[in-house]
Structure 1
Amino acid sequence: MSTETIHVLKDLNFTEYEAKAYLALLEKSPLSGYAISLSSGVPRSKIYEVLAGLVDRGEVMMSHENPVLYSPLPPNELIALRKRKAEVSFDVAEKALEHYSFVSLNRGNIWNISGNEAVVSRAKEVIKHAKERILLEIWKEDAEEIKEELREAHDRGVEILIVSYGEIDFDFGQMYPHDASEEITKEYGGRWIILSADDREVLAGIVSLGENSRAAWTTHPSLVMPITEVIIHDLYIHEMLKEHREILEQSFGPHLIDLRKRFNVGPSGYSIAAKLGLTT
């Protein structure tokens, strides 16, 4: 028996003695406990205790004769058995720990997420745990990365409202195309995500800078409330433009561009995007 195979079994939570006994049985079976001890190198004083543990777990079978003989569960059946047990254990643990999913978070902390991959991964986790409502502002290309998680949330009854930059053609959820998508993309030279789940957890940040992407994730009420309100505010604007576009554009230009220009440049003359280093 190879040392490498013993290590593989130890990674499956076999003890070294259990791994040696099981492998000895794979090489030749059925065998008595005494014969297994001789072929595996497991001390005689330990072999019956080791075999009893394997039998209890259903990984070795024993006969009811004298002497008792042992035979191993075939490797494919052993792996299938371990997988089933692991899945059951994960399900039980998930249900047992669900109560602590938000309690365990320090509500006084704001967590920094670095890198596009990590930001997207955190967005997926936030979506997976949503139970009532998801509010989301996102660009089309980034929405594709979390599409399946959003679909699963929709299928379990979560309301999904998306303010979309670019045309997102999902066959679920409610879409609210942002009227100035192209202008905003040009102004900032980058893309962001704003995500609110159940009005109690938010993720907000830049997703278009690769490894330099940054986002903040928190359940702190003092940030959850205003960040959620940002999305709701854009939903208001969408509905007002839908009903009164002509009047509003007479006052503020196409897509309210004059209104954006009025507030997108600070006293120093630099745009917000330039201050953030998002433009060249």
Structure 2
Amino acid sequence: MKDSILETLKKLNFTEYEAKAYLTLLGESPLTGYAVAKNSGVPRSKIYEVLESLAIRGDILVSHGTTQRYTPVPAKELIKNRRRETEVNFEQAEKSLAEFERSAHDRENIWNITGDNEILDKVKDCIASAEKRILLEIWKEEFKALEPELQRAAERGVHVIIIAYGEIISDFAEVYIHYMGDEITEEYGGRWIVISADDSEVVAGIVSLGEDSRAAWTRHVGLVMPITEVIIHDLYLMEIMKGHRDLLEGSFGKNLVNLRHKFSIHPDFKKHYLK
């Protein structure tokens, strides 16, 4: 009978010595550590380590008098506690595994988002989940809608870096005003938004077409890496233009217009993504 109870306790995460000590106290208590060792067969060299482990876990109680004595938690309460702990562990495991499965699924997919409000909502999700850095290319119109979320991110320690098309003033973000924002708006005939959060997820798309706006959201590294690096290279260009604008414009024209024309495929030198 006793052997079967010992095996049952082991299944409840007791070691053999812990099970013997607990059963001994369940049969007679309170007892000193010496008495528990003597009655249970647990070596005296191990008994206080075993009793401390049981006390930390809440399986026994300790009276702190001149001589410490030990009392077991009643068997019914022990089982109740173990059942509650098991349920909590199952809930945590279910949640963690579901999140991991969803994350793994997301890393292999590219999701289409339709509608300007829906795109901005997804960008807000990215901002809310960021922990280290946000890289954002944005027009001033969309910035107004995202400013509260961006400020909250900055307040929790996220480094917010913005390439702004149009005048954006912020006391919580590092803002680079694009040197040719007006020209880009004219050439492209629309506004886009690109965000990279923690170099792990991106949203990129057109946001100036109302309900017909289109964007993609993904954690797929095949897109996250190049899109993030494009933003970073735009930042390189901002820094280079700030330090050497006169030299560069001397070689490539005002706002580097000669470069823009060189790599255009249309005779009017405008972009025709939006047809």
TM score, norm. by length of structure 2: 0.62
| Alignment-derived partner of residue 257 in structure 1 | 257
- Counterpart CA distance in 1 for 2:240 and 2:98 is 40
| Alignment-derived partner of residue 220 in structure 2 | 220
Match of 1:273 among 244, 258, 271: 271
- Counterpart CA distance in 2 for 1:269 and 1:186 is 15
Q: Classify the secondary structure of the residue corresponding to 1:273.
A: coil
**Structure 1 portions without partners, runs of 5+:** 1-91
Instruction: Kindly provide the CA deviation profile for residues 44-77 of structure 1, in whole angstroms up to 9, marking residues without a partner as x.
Output: xxxxxxxxxxxxxxxxxxxxxxxxxxxxxxxxxx
Offset at 1:103? 2.2
| Alignment-derived partner of residue 120 in structure 2 | 120
Offset at 1:178? 0.5
Structure number, greater radius of gyration: 2
Q: Classify the secondary structure of the residue corresponding to 1:163.
A: strand
Offset at 1:97? 5.3
Offset at 1:108? 1.6
The list of structure 1 runs, each at least 4 consecutive aligned residues, that deviate by more than 6 angstroms after superposition, is none
Offset at 1:255? 1.3
| Alignment-derived partner of residue 99 in structure 2 | 100
- Aligned 1:17-166 pairs, distance under 5 A: 100=99, 103=103, 105-166=105-166
Change beyond 3 A, Cα 1:177–1:98: farther
Change beyond 3 A, Cα 1:100–1:215: same
CA contact (8 A) 2:115 2:211 kept: yes
- Counterpart CA distance in 2 for 1:270 and 1:99 is 52
Offset at 1:271? 5.3
Offset at 1:123? 0.4
| Alignment-derived partner of residue 169 in structure 1 | 169
Q: Classify the secondary structure of the residue corresponding to 1:128.
A: helix
For 1:171, give the aligned amino acid: D
Question: 2:172 matched to 1:194?
Answer: no
Instruction: Kindly provide the CA deviation profile for residues 135-154 of structure 1, in whole angstroms up to 9, marking residues without a partner as x.
Output: 00000111110101100000
- Counterpart CA distance in 1 for 2:133 and 2:272 is 34
Change beyond 3 A, Cα 1:151–1:275: closer
CA contact (8 A) 2:114 2:212 kept: yes
For 2:242, give the aligned amino acid: K
For 2:272, give the aligned amino acid: A
Change beyond 3 A, Cα 1:105–1:271: farther
Q: Classify the secondary structure of the residue corresponding to 2:107.
A: coil
Change beyond 3 A, Cα 1:178–1:98: farther
Question: 2:221 matched to 1:232?
Answer: no
- Counterpart CA distance in 1 for 2:273 and 2:104 is 36
- Counterpart CA distance in 2 for 1:198 and 1:110 is 18
| Alignment-derived partner of residue 181 in structure 2 | 181
CA contact (8 A) 2:188 2:273 kept: no
Change beyond 3 A, Cα 1:226–1:100: same
| Alignment-derived partner of residue 27 in structure 1 | none
CA contact (8 A) 2:134 2:197 kept: yes
TM score, norm. by length of structure 1: 0.61
- Counterpart CA distance in 2 for 1:173 and 1:276 is 31
Deviates more, 1:108-117 or 1:98-107: 98-107
**Structure 2 portions without partners, runs of 5+:** 1-90
Offset at 1:258? 1.4
For 1:257, give the aligned amino acid: V
Change beyond 3 A, Cα 1:103–1:192: same
Q: Classify the secondary structure of the residue corresponding to 1:274.
A: coil
Offset at 1:262? 1.3
